[in-house]
Amino acid sequence: MIELNVELGSNSYPIWMGRGLLSQGEVWRTGLPGRQIALVSNTVVAPLYLDVLKEQLSDYQLIEIVLPDGERYKNLDALESIWHKLLTEQFSRNSTIIALGGGVVGDTAGFAAACYQRGIAYLQMPTTLLAQVDSSVGGKTAVNHALGKNMIGAFYQPHGVVIDIDVLSTLPDRELSAGLAEVIKYGLIADVAFLEWLEAHIEALLARDPEALMYAIEHSCRQKAAVVAADEREAGLRAILNLGHTFGHAIEAGMGYGQYLHGEAVAIGMCQAADLSRRLGWLDDAEVERIAHLLQRARLPVKPPESLSSERFLHWMGVDKKNLNGQIRLILLRCLGEATPAMTVDIALLQATLETYGR
């Protein structure tokens, strides 16, 4: 087992990574306040792993809240169902929420914990690769609003993050690849050596080799923890974690949520960001191709959907018609291994990327 600390002063917390951690309660039960625990999961994950957890918590007052699976249930109604159950069962300020599932469960349960009686403890137990390397670390919690994704939320750090590598054995292939998109992102934004390691080990990762997964997850979490420690509330630096995300968001929203997985949309978006970086003279053709090639080997899409016109892309990226002569702030690559936050880019260059890259 590896223990890694997210350094945030009085909000610091450990990330535990290893095999079979769900059934090693002695690792993550330490320091939990009170004797009341709410297990929040979804209809896919709960049948697989909830019993394992419950065995580790036999001397606690437990309640189970099983949410429907999917991004469209990450909303205020899900929050209300959690709060209602906690209140009905008279859960106190000293109770704890455990979020067992992917990013949707983690974001929703984390935000429910942030607001219940003005904040109770919660543990993240991510069960997808994407959640393990990204959403479970850093305290960004939120639900979607009908008028925007992740619009209602809080920066609220967990009590700890429990990453059990073994749960990835039941993850569908497509979701494994989607998680690899975020893993590759860490190489692109901050670490060429890790990028090279990924190029050498992408097949091992796809084959779910535990050692390779452990290395990639640890490395990703270290990157994320360092960025979050430097900029918890995304005043500046933390934005580099959004490489490819503004493009990706446009794909997710423009095609209708659920059509593309988040990681798939980000993979395409990172290619578009690379192409735009090339137009600024920061990357060369070979480097743009190298990025796309690695993503393709990870079985990820790299071309934007044909039906999404550059005009609709611009709309979903937040550029409206009256701004077409203006500029936009995006995360781009200065070079391989170095992302630049909030650069101001000519819309005309962006349009060129949208109209030609992958078309």
Residues that bind a second copy (CB under 8 A): 76, 80, 83-84, 87-88, 114-119, 140-142, 145, 147-148, 151-155, 233
Contact 255, 305 (CB under 8 A): yes
Q: Residues 42, 159, 182, 252: which is the catalytic one?
A: 182
DSSP, collapsed to helix, strand or coil, labels residue 131 as helix
Q: For residues 84 and 89, what is the distance between their CA atoms, to the nearest angstrom? A: 9
- Measured CA to CA, the distance from residue 60 to residue 303 in angstroms comes to 50
- Least separation in angstroms between CB 291 and a second copy: 29
> Which of the residues 249, 252, 264, 278 is marked catalytic?
249
Mark whether 42 is an active-site residue: no
Q: Within its chain, how far is the Cα of 262 from the centroid? A: 9
- What are 338's two structure tokens? 């170095």
Catalytic site residue from 64, 71, 234, 338: 234
Nearest distance from residue 118's CB to a second copy, in Å? Answer: 5
Among residues 88 and 169, whose Cβ is nearest to a second copy? 88
Catalytic residue check, 293: no
**Cβ neighbours around 356 below 10 Å, total:** 11
Which entry of 222, 224, 278, 279 is annotated as an active-site residue?
Answer: 224
Q: How far apart are CA 213 and CA 252, in angstroms?
A: 27
- CA-based nearest residue to 130, from 160, 155, 105, 95: 105
Residue 245 falls in the annotated catalytic set: yes
CA gap 139, 62 in Å, rounded: 24
Identify whether 329 is a catalytic site residue.
no
Task: Please identify which of the residues 26, 118, 321, 322 carries the catalytic annotation.
Answer: 118
Three-state SS letters, 292-333:
HHHHHHCCCCCCCCCCCCHHHHHHHCCCCHHHCCCEEEEEEE
CB closer to a second copy, 147 vs 307: 147
Among 120, 205, 189, smallest CA distance to 159 is for 120
**Looking at 245, 252, 278, 279, which residue is catalytic?**
245
182: annotated active-site residue: yes
DSSP state of 68: P
Complete DSSP assignment for 268-299 = HHHHHHHHHHHHTTSS-HHHHHHHHHHHHHTT
Q: Is 145 known to be catalytic? A: no
Active-site pick, 140, 222, 278, 279: 140
User: Is 11 annotated in the active site?
Assistant: no
Minimum Å gap between C-beta 233 and a second copy is 7
**Shortest Å distance, C-beta 212 to a second copy:** 34
* Least distance in angstroms from the C-beta of 81 to a second copy: 12
242 catalytic per annotation: yes
Q: How far is the CB of 115 from a second copy (least distance, A)?
A: 5
User: Would the CA dihedral through 135, 209, 207, 301 be positive or negative?
Assistant: positive
Cα 282 to Cα 292: distance, rounded to the nearest angstrom: 16
Residues with a catalytic annotation lie at: 118, 140, 182, 224, 234, 238, 242, 245, 249, 262
